[in-house]
Structures are given as C-alpha cells and as structure tokens.
Structure 1
Amino acid sequence: MSTYALLLAPSANRVYADAASRLTQAELAAFAEAGVLDSAISDAGEASMGGVPYVTFRGDLSDRDVAHLSNLSAAYALFCLQGGDLLRPVTLRPLARYDDDLITIPKYVGKTNEQFTRLLLNVTLLASASAPRMLDGGLTVLDPLCGRGTTLNQALMYGYDGIGVELDGKDVDAYAAFLRTWLKRKRLKHSAEITPVRRDRKLVARRFEAVLASTKDDYRAGDTQRVTVLHTDTTHARDFLKTGCADVIVADAPYGVAHGSRTRENGLSRRPLDLLAAAAPGWAALLRPGGALGISWNTHVASREDAAKIFVDVGMQPIDTPTYRGFGHWVDQAITRDILVARKPV
C-alpha cells in the first residue's frame, strides 16, 4: 500500500487556510464513505516535509481514484512517497470544463470562499445517489440562495447544469452581466437572455437562462449545459420549477450577523431557521429521490439539532456520521460555520 502526500492550494482567506488541512481530511473520508473509490483510504493525517505541510494518507489509487480525488476542494498537487522521503508527482485531472477565472474573477462583499463552495458541493454530491456519476457530467445542481452565482459557476466547471433562485434583483442582474461578458470574452457559443415570468398578466418573477458549450461542435450537436436563475423568493421556488428537477441542492444560508434572510412575506429576519423552515418543504419537493441537500450555516444562531429537525420534518434523512460532523470551522468572532447534509429517500 502506497503513501500519498497532498499539497494544499493556498487560500486568499487566511482563517480558512488554517482549517484547510482538517477539512481536507474530512473531505477525503467523505470520498471513501461514498464508495466511489476503488482503493480503501486509511491513516489520513498531516505531515511536514521540507518545512511544507501536506495531508498524507495511504491507499493504492487507481486512475479513476486519482480522477475523483483531483476534485478535492483544496487540492494543489499530489505526490506518492518513495523511499520514505522522495515525492513522485501524480498528475491531477480535475473536472475543469472551462477556465478557472469563471469562478475567480467575480469579487464582491459576501462572496462565499471558492474552496468552501467546492467542498460543500462535493460532500453533498458524495452523500447522494448520484455520487457514482460525479465524473460523468449531466447532473443538475440547485442553489436556492444563489446570490451572484459562485455555486452555479462551480457546477458549470464540473460539466453540470445549474439552477439558482435569488430574491435580490441586483444580484441576478450582476450574475447575468458577468456570465454574458465572460462567455463573449471566451468566444464560447451560447445564448443568454432575461425574460419576464407572468401569471394572469402580472409580473411574478424574472428568469435568466444561458445555454452554452465548451466547443462550437458540441453546441451544434446539442451537447450543451444550461444555467437558469430565477429572480423570486426561494420559498416560492416550487411554483416555477419542476418537481424533482435537481440531483443535489446546496446553499450557504445567511449567517444572521452581517446580513439576514429575507422573504417577501416576512421581511428581513436574523434567524436563518425561519427561512429554512419556510423553504424546506419546497426544496425537498425539487430534489429527486436519492438526492442530497447540503447547507452551511452559522452555528451561533442555529444549532445543528434544530437545523436537522427541519429536514427530518420534510421526510429527509440527515447524514450524521463522524465524517459529516467534521466540517465545522471558525470564520470570525461572530461566525462558526458548519455543514449539514440530508438525503431524500429513494
């Protein structure tokens, strides 16, 4: 059995970088628990070599295992140890259908850390019935609190379709403007437009939809990806989307500190549980059987048990293994962030 050393990518967020090794070890365990790897992984830990910290683990990785682990949220380089102190590079092959500036260019206040966005998507997908299809594309990711679309762009990078719901019209317009500009600058064949959604001649929502492909030939052949963003209240998402439209749902819930959760009926609330309780029935209906929902939230304003109960009440099964209890981390004095993942029965 071989020993591997994973060099972690630097993070612009120093606080997140301090937690990256521990979070990566939990993410490795999530890959192992999902059953997508051919080789068992053991003895995950941290080691310093040449004064540089690495996450180390043991296993006999197949090519497909390397392809899976290439998508670890903080992966920068992977080595196989030889002779105890020699590092042999292992070529990483992450899912990257487009240039990574699709994710890194947007900068704005409140943007979720890009590495954490990938971590949240990964561990949610790995808990779902779609985990064996992670490398194959063709999945649909729904972010019902999508903001300016970091999760949607990560879904596109993976070769998936994305659906977002956002109440703030300025965020919807900003995302639409960015994606259009990016697609034109990359000279990718696409269509993109914002259209009104009317009921009884009244404007009830707006829909931004883009259809794109990585090559012109793929576009002509119909091998395309679709990203849709609805400008509406997430508690009304079920009114505009088909039941069972998403393989996974991921959301970074409002932290209840610098910003709150808002619905049209109740205005601004500092309690994210209010939003989750109102939205969970609709979110569960939009998830396919066997799908998984992952949320991140501030544990200072809502306990894990209270958040889990909301999803139990709509028929979902929280994942409560030690691995999935290992993602909590400090963000600042007012925020300790954690992840809760729940699965919809098949």
Structure 2
Amino acid sequence: MADYALLILPSTNRVYAEASVDLTLAELQVFNQSVLDGRLDNATRTELGGVPYVTFTADTLSDTDLAYLANLSALYALFRIDGKLLEPIHLHRLDAFDDDLITIQKYQGKTNELFTKLLLNVTLMSSARARDMLDHRLHVLDPMCGRGTTLNQVIMYGWDAAGVDIDQKDFEAYATFIQTWLKRKRVKHQAEVTRVRRDKQLVGRKLDVSIGLTKESYKAGDALTLTYVNADTVKTRDFHRAGSVDLIVTDAPYGVQHGSRAGQGLQRSPLELLREAAPVWADVLRPGGAIGIAWNTNVASRADALDVLAQSGLDPIDEGPYRSFGHRVDQAIVRDIVIARRP
C-alpha cells in the first residue's frame, strides 16, 4: 500500500475555500466508486506543515487512474508520501485551452468555477459514460446557463457544449465574451448569431460556434460545437432532440438573486420551475445519461428536489458521498447537489 496526499487548489473565495476539503473528499469518493473500482482507502483530511491536504491509500495507481484523478475540481498537486517527504506526481489534465477561459469572467452572481467543475465531474461520474471521460467527446447541456461558466468548462474538457437561458443580457454578454476570447487567443473558429423561428414566430436567438482544438483538426473538419439559445428553458425540446445529450448540468435559481424572469420580476419559484422543466430536460437525456443540479436548500429541501426528478422518470442517486456536497455560500444560500440518472 502507498500513501498519497492531494493538495487543494487555493481559492480566492474564502467561504468556498473553507468547504473545499470536505467537497474534495466527497468528489474523490464518487470517482473511487465509478472509475477507480474502489481501490482508494482511508480518504481523510490531514494537515501537513499546517496546510490541509486530502490523504488516501492505494495499492498502486495506474496511468489511467492518475489521468482521472488529474481532473478533480480542486486538485492543485498530488504527492506520494515517502516517510517525511512528499514526492510529486506528474499529472495530465484534460484542459484543452488556457485556464483564463474559465477565470477571466467576473460578474455578480457568477458560480464559483471550481464548484462548476465539481458539479460537471460528479454528474459525469454518475452516468453510464463515466469511463469515457478521458477519450470520448461528450455532449453536455446547461439548460439555465446564464453567462456560460458551465459551457466554458465543457469546452475546456474538449467536449461539445449547449446552453439555454431566458435572460437576453446574459446571452448577449456570453456571445460577446466567447467570440472576443477566441479571437484574442487566435483559436480557429466560426461564430454566428441568428434568429430562431417556429411557425413564422420568433421563439429566440441562437449562438452557433465551431471551435478547433488545433488548426490542423479544424482544417480537417473536426471542431467542437457550442450552441446557446436565448429562450425559456421549458422550451428546450424546441431546440434539442430527445435523447441527444449525455449530461445535463445546471446551477438552479437560488430564489435570492437568481430566477426565471419575464419582464422585471421573478415569475416562478425555483421549485415550480424545476417541476415544469425537469420532464423536458429528462427527455433530451440519452439512456444512461445523468443530470446534476446545484440547489439552494433554503428554498426547497433536498427531498423535494429529488422527488421532482423521480416524478420526471429519473432515478435519483442519494447515498454515500452524494449526501456530502452541502455547503454554505452566504447567509441566504446553503448549496447542495442533486443527481439523477435516466434509466
């Protein structure tokens, strides 16, 4: 058996930093269950030199095991413990682009990018596609994508991203940001904003972007696809076929400063919105696909949210590490994750 120490990535968000060790422990256990065949033992919080680490033991870790672990959301570095010494282990992340794609946007209400990555990881690990993380291009939908933090993380992994959001300002801000970023980074791409009509009626606007991972692959016709539709999330089926996405990942309205809006007011409570939208979202998931939702438990209980997903024909996952993701965001928000899988 070998001992390992995982150093947590420093977070500029003090509240999230306080929760990051416990969140990493839960995320690590989900990875352990889904793609590491339970080979990790004794995962716990340990202080080394006054710095908090997550430590664990394992017989051996293969190159594939390390490739999975490299993508843990808050991992800064991984070490093998040799007596009083820490031997660094070289890791290769999936990251396909510079990390400012994730970090450069700053605006009120932005979801912490480390948490966004955690939510995406845990949702994937709960699906039938978990072992495809390293070598397949997945299709991920955020049906309330706001200014695109989830979309950017999906692109960062080299996967196809799709978003839906009703807020016109968020749509315009993201369309401007992603096109500016791609041009500044000199990434081969094409981008277009068009109006979408159904039965001669305008139902929304759509951003379509094709993105080259390399100049050579782009010339060969191999490009990532990014779409963002400015429309109500309950209309998702108007833009995405049934059974067309592998994962759905979204940060639900908190009922505080977020919401589904028409005009200037909050028109639907977060739980009411989930009841309307969840059956639509479930329909666009492929069999074996999973949905992960970040949720404010001060607005509605975890049990209520899971019950809505179950009533939508999904199988909630609610045991072991899945019950350890709750954490405080501020005085009004205690955030948790609910996960369900399509049979």
> For the superposition of Structure 1 and Structure 2, which TM-score range results when normalised by the shorter chain?
over 0.9
Q: Deviations over 1:213-266 (max 9, x none)?
A: 1211000112210110001000011112111121000110011112333368x9
| Residue segments in structure 1 that go unaligned for 5+ positions in a row | none
Give the partner amino acid of 1:47: T
> 1:262-277 counterparts in 2 under 5 A?
262=261, 268-269=266-267, 271-277=269-275
Q: Deviations over 1:130-184 (max 9, x none)?
A: 1010111310110000000000000001111000001011111111111111111
TM-score, scaled to structure 1? 0.96
How far apart, CA to CA, are the structure 2 residues paired with 1:338 and 1:214?
33
Give the partner amino acid of 2:164: V
How far apart, CA to CA, are the structure 1 residues paired with 2:223 and 2:240?
20
Give the 3-state SS of the residue equivalent to 1:136 in structure 2: coil
In structure 2, the CA distance between the partners of 1:259 and 1:39, relative to structure 1 (3 Å rule), is: closer
> 1:305-324 counterparts in 2 under 5 A?
305-324=303-322
How far apart, CA to CA, are the structure 2 residues paired with 1:272 and 1:330?
18
How far apart, CA to CA, are the structure 2 residues paired with 1:269 and 1:202?
23
> 1:38-117 counterparts in 2 under 5 A?
40-59=39-58, 60-83=60-83, 85-117=84-116
The alpha carbon displacement at 1:267 in A equals 6.0
Corresponding position of 1:237: 236
Asked whether the equivalents of residues 193 and 206 of structure 2 are also in contact (C-alpha less than 8 Å), the reply is yes
Corresponding position of 1:208: 207
Asked whether the equivalents of residues 256 and 270 of structure 1 are also in contact (C-alpha less than 8 Å), the reply is no
Asked whether the equivalents of residues 296 and 340 of structure 1 are also in contact (C-alpha less than 8 Å), the reply is yes
The alpha carbon displacement at 1:201 in A equals 2.3
> 1:125-274 counterparts in 2 under 5 A?
125-262=124-261, 268-269=266-267, 271-274=269-272
Give the partner amino acid of 2:310: V
How far apart, CA to CA, are the structure 1 residues paired with 2:218 and 2:37?
34
How far apart, CA to CA, are the structure 2 residues paired with 1:217 and 1:12?
37
Corresponding position of 1:339: 337
Asked whether the equivalents of residues 166 and 260 of structure 2 are also in contact (C-alpha less than 8 Å), the reply is no
Give the 3-state SS of the residue equivalent to 1:294 in structure 2: strand
In structure 2, the CA distance between the partners of 1:67 and 1:317, relative to structure 1 (3 Å rule), is: same
How far apart, CA to CA, are the structure 1 residues paired with 2:37 and 2:233?
39
| Residue segments in structure 2 that go unaligned for 5+ positions in a row | none
Asked whether the equivalents of residues 246 and 285 of structure 2 are also in contact (C-alpha less than 8 Å), the reply is yes
The alpha carbon displacement at 1:202 in A equals 2.1
Corresponding position of 1:19: 19
How far apart, CA to CA, are the structure 2 residues paired with 1:37 and 1:259?
37
Asked whether the equivalents of residues 137 and 158 of structure 1 are also in contact (C-alpha less than 8 Å), the reply is no
How far apart, CA to CA, are the structure 2 residues paired with 1:67 and 1:336?
32
Over the aligned positions, Cα root-mean-square deviation in angstroms equals 1.4
Give the 3-state SS of the residue equivalent to 2:67 in structure 1: helix
TM-score, scaled to structure 2? 0.97
Give the 3-state SS of the residue equivalent to 1:26 in structure 2: helix
Q: Number of paired residues?
A: 342
Asked whether the equivalents of residues 189 and 219 of structure 1 are also in contact (C-alpha less than 8 Å), the reply is yes
Give the 3-state SS of the residue equivalent to 2:171 in structure 1: helix
Asked whether the equivalents of residues 210 and 226 of structure 1 are also in contact (C-alpha less than 8 Å), the reply is yes
